[in-house]
Structure 1
Amino acid sequence: MPLKLLVAVNPASGGTDKTESIEQIRAFCQAHETELTILMLTGTADGKHIEERVAQTKPDRLVAMGGDGTIKLVAEVALRHNLPLGILPTGSANGLARELGLPTDLTEALAVATGSLEQPIDVIEVNGELCLHLSDIGLNAQLIKYYQQNNWRGMLGYARGVVRVLLRKRVLHVTICTPEKEISRSAEMIALANARMYGTGAVLNPDGDMADGQFEVVLLRQFSWIEFMKMFWRFRPFDPQKTEIIEAQSVQISTRRKAYFQVDGEYRGRITQVDARIRPGALRVLLAHPLGESGS
């Protein structure tokens, strides 16, 4: 029986026209005797439309073509139906694809999405929402709010956002509870990291592993340019007085005052409470190499 793919395409991802790419997908699937259904996303009720098309076509695999937001949207449906997830990264940053060691070349990515190497990865459930990559409270979430609010683009927009955030940053007073302990800290940012790095390439969680059954709570206790630059120089250890990393399978974080909050690059407003737990091996993903062997 031919492999049946349902490919959900975000036509706006990466700011490029997808017409040629879709024709390339059709040609690839025809050459490899793969049954193909393409669903163009519109930004309105996309999750519902993916669910309806899954019910209609009964695919063997779901494939997301877009950036991290598109991947997350399709992954939510894949989780509910226990379907393997393929990824064709066409976003601006492609942070998750980079983390998983996936190719950005479309033909190579299609070969992976129709290949045989499938691996379960962990996901985090954060305030009832799926998190594949990184969520955080404080500085970065504030940066994402400004970035999206002002429709900034590229590294220049990112740099403008960094300057604005640093001028307005404030210390958060938080209580962090895990099943093992409760601690109080002052910090400028707290991240829940299922992965190692942001889409910019900044490594926040050097020892992160998306298949180890846990996540890390990373506390940026005191911002310094030296610590910030270390995020771009892999293997440079953080100063434990300024950056603290706590391994966890579940955590509850409380803040005294409302703080900026984001999940997988999407600003979620200001919160005073975050509840998170790991879901080990919950998502089946098609990979080019087993995790830990991708060279990423």
Structure 2
Amino acid sequence: MHPERKILLVVNPVSGGTAKDEIFNIAIARSKIEPFELLIYQTTGVEDLEAIGHLVSTQQPERVIVAGGDGTIGMVARTLAQTEAIMGIIPAGSANGLSVDFALPTSFEEAFDIALGSHVIAMDAVDINGDICLHLGDIGLNALLVKNYEMNDSRGKIGYAKEMLKTLSEHNNFRVQIDYPEGRLETEALIVIIANGAKYGTGVNINPKGSISDGFFELVIARRLNFIESAKILTGSTDFDPDILQIVSTKSAHLVCPDHGVHFQIDGEYKGEVKELRIEIIEKYVHVAVPAPHP
């Protein structure tokens, strides 16, 4: 008997610099046990969004499981936006920031258990100049790091650390004006993070106030590097020195960099230099299978 359930597996074969054979083998084995009809799509970097969207609309899978980093996950989420289909995540990128936020296991077997499981949330997204951000976007220091990482075709955490040292020597602060419904800020900044989630893929909790499904995003404005304020973030404190670091929770914002363009990235993908960002929360953007909360 042909199974009625359809599950689409989307795999980025180059993400994380590792082979994906284990992922394919697990998916095929699960499809025979569950059972379900398994559809597989491997990204190529050419018109992937359109191809995945076509598969979703014509095949109507009940779930789409993504094996890749934040960029691949974000692309798939766009094809599932405001539908009843569920997205599952297999952490298979270099940093896996969204997966870290969800506390997904690094074991592919365990990640499949969750991706096929029954605990599902409706997560928000952030519209930034018409692009969709599921996790973290930013202007400044980290965006330059993402650019350097992409340009040098680095892979893995060692490559990331090497590019961080280079980026710290290149980056300069910038002026930014931020208007949001609750107020206005004008400041010099090292980085401004647009945070739907809480953690970078390294595990650093950059946004202790954040929740990925609370109807708000946070602007994390760091004016300079400071060990004490960084330690507060790592320990989950929100009692920051406002001269060094400030966090604003809001539903919309307008950022302007009056002097020059500033490096900008969304979910680990470099977008170029920008002088202006218009930002809006999109509530309950996509359904995602996540670990069940501990009792």
What residue identity is the alignment partner of 2:264?
F
Say yes or no: does 1:127 pair with 2:129.
yes
1:201-256: per-residue Cα shift (whole Å, max 9, x none)? Answer: 12211121111110111100122244445554444854332011111100000001
Contact 1:6 1:39 in 2 (8 A): yes
Asked if structure 1 preserves the Cα contact closer than 8 Å seen for 2:11 and 2:42, the reply is yes
Report the alpha carbon displacement of residue 99 of structure 1 after superposing the two structures with TM: 0.5
What is residue 276 of structure 1 aligned with on the other side?
Answer: 279
* 2:291 paired residue among 260, 283, 288: 288
Native 8 Å contact 1:197 1:203 kept in 2: yes
Identity %: 37
Counterpart residue type for residue 244 of structure 1: Q
1:264 is matched with which residue?
Answer: 267
Relative to the length of structure 1, the TM-score reads: 0.91
Structure 2 distance, partners of 1:189, 1:232, is 17
Distance 1:99 1:73 in 2: 18
Corresponding residue number in structure 2 for 1:16: 18
Report the equivalent of 1:184.
186
> How many residue pairs end up in the alignment?
292
1:100–1:294 CA contact under 8 A, matched in 2? no
Structure-2 residue corresponding to 1:224: 226
Query: Which amino acid in 1 is paired with 2:151?
Result: Q
| Structure-2 separation of matches of 1:167 and 1:246 | 28
| Alpha-carbon spacing, 1:271–1:277, altered in 2? closer, same or farther (3 Å) | same
**Alpha-carbon distance between aligned partners in 1 of 2:194 and 2:171, rounded to the nearest angstrom:** 19
Deviation at 1:191, TM superposition (A): 0.7
Q: Write the deviation string for residues 131-164 of structure 1: whole angstroms up to 9, x where unpaired.
A: 0111111111111111211223344433333333
Aligned residue identity for 2:281: I
- Give me the whole-angstrom Cα distance separating, in 2, the residues matched to 1:20 and 1:202: 28
- Change in 2 beyond 3 A, CA 1:102/1:79: same
The CA RMSD measured in Å over matched residues stands at 2.0
Report the equivalent of 1:206: 208
1:158 matched to 2:160? The reply is yes
**Relative to 1, partners in 2 of residues 1:15 and 1:172: Cα closer, same or farther, differing over 3 Å?**
same
Note if 1:45 corresponds to 2:53: no
2:236 and 2:183 map into 1 onto residues whose CA distance is 30
Cα 1:162–1:92 shift into 2, 3 Å: closer
C-alpha distance in 2 between matches for 1:65 and 1:36 = 14
State the partner residue of 1:34: 36
Paired with 2:252 and 2:220, the residues of 1 have a C-alpha distance of 14
Under a length normalisation based on structure 2, what TM-score does the superposition of the two structures give?
Answer: 0.92
Aligned residue type for 1:272: K
> In 1, Cα distance between the equivalents of 2:294 and 2:193?
24
CA distance in 1, matches of 2:5, 2:253: 40
